[in-house]
Amino acid sequence: MNRLRALLAPFLGLLFVVLLFSVLAPESFPTLYNFRTVSTQTVVVGLGAIGMSFVIMSGGIDLSVGSVIALSSVAAAAALNAGWSAAAAILAAILTGAICGLVNGLLIARLRIMPFIATLGMMGIARGTAKRITGGQKIDAPASWLPDLVSKSSADAWLGLPPGLWILLALAALMAGVLRRTPFGLHVVAIGSNEATARLCGVNVPGTLTRVYALNGAFAGLAGAMLFGRLSVGEPTAAVGLELDIIAACVIGGASLSGGEGGMLGAMIGAFLMAFLANGMNLAQVENYWQEILIGAIIVAAVALDRWRHRRG
């Protein structure tokens, strides 16, 4: 009940944005084509937010996801160039991300480096590696069915919606279950809520944290594969600063950076809220700077509202 109440404000925000732009741009905004457009625009951030939710729930942060997404997109392109199938390329991207995440997790859980610092390091390492692999250039890759996953055209749609959206929603539902219904999920929340307690209760804190960051890396990897699908090139300089959009999606959805609070549904609402806002403002011809100002204001408002709600009890 409590959890649902926390989602009320972001959900109303999302509803408000959708209604507002439906009025401001009635001919272009509330159309199926535009909804398909927005949902493919959300896939990359949304996938990142699934993994990031676990990290934030555990009381950590991962600043490297933007770079890891770029590295994974390069890995997918390289795999396709090497003649691998599209499915193998997606796996290569996920694996690349998971390895980066695993390294983050080991640094944080075993060497006890603060998540902020460890992932700040990985941010540079992953970005540099991506540039090193590609020689600083974007790399072209042969066509495959991978871009169709994030295509907006109705020809590629499953049940009228882009495949990428279905993948995003299915994974979000699955991971919401993992978070709420498995011992692993409970341990993640417990560590975020009170790490000392989790330790005393015999929870394998280092092991759990390592898995959390590896999982986040894997989702960043999948997001990288999707980004490759969107760009159709492996792009070492893509997704700069994307980690902040992903963190913002989680925070707008009610996650607390001090850990223990948040959820998958909230993160998805946050991701869609930001995407609808950006899309709607483009359609209504609002200048870009308003977009940035508004998103910033929404993040602050979301957290302030959450604080206020907490004080009221």
Give the three-state DSSP class for 158: strand
Max Cα-Cα span within the chain: 59
Give the three-state DSSP class for 236: coil
Give min distance, CB of 304 to other proteins, in A. Answer: 19
The correct pick among 39, 41, 104, 119 for binding other proteins (CB under 8 A) is 41
Residue 31 or 85: the one with the smaller Cβ distance to other proteins is 31
Give min distance, CB of 184 to other proteins, in A. Answer: 9
Give the separation between CA 261 and CA 179, rounded to whole angstroms: 11
Name beta bridge partners: 139.
234
The correct pick among 106, 186, 257, 305 for binding other proteins (CB under 8 A) is 186
Q: What is the DSSP letter of 144?
A: -
- Regarding 303 and contact with other proteins (CB under 8 A), the answer is no
The correct pick among 85, 145, 158, 182 for binding other proteins (CB under 8 A) is 182
Alpha helices in 232-287 (DSSP H): 242-252, 264-283
Give the three-state DSSP class for 165: helix
Q: Which residues of 101-110 are buried (b: 16+ CB within 10 A; e: fewer)?
A: bbbbbbbbbe
Q: What is the dihedral of CA 37, 38, 39, 42, to 10 degrees?
A: 130
- Regarding 29 and contact with other proteins (CB under 8 A), the answer is yes
- Regarding 127 and contact with other proteins (CB under 8 A), the answer is no
Which helix H or strand E contains 112, and what residues bound it?
Answer: none
Which helix H or strand E contains 127, and what residues bound it?
Answer: helix 115-134
Residues 67-126 that bind other proteins (CB under 8 A): none
Segment interacting with other proteins, rule: CB under 8 A, options 9-17, 93-101, 162-170, 178-186: 178-186
Residues 232-291 that bind other proteins (CB under 8 A): 232-233, 235-241, 260-261, 278-279, 281-286, 288, 290-291
Site size toward other proteins (CB under 8 A) is 68
Residue 94 or 239: the one with the smaller Cβ distance to other proteins is 239
Site residues (CB under 8 A) for other proteins? 2, 24-25, 27-29, 31, 33-34, 37, 40-41, 44, 131, 134, 136-138, 140, 147, 151-153, 181-183, 186-187, 189-190, 192-194, 196-203, 227, 230-233, 235-241, 260-261, 278-279, 281-286, 288, 290-292, 313
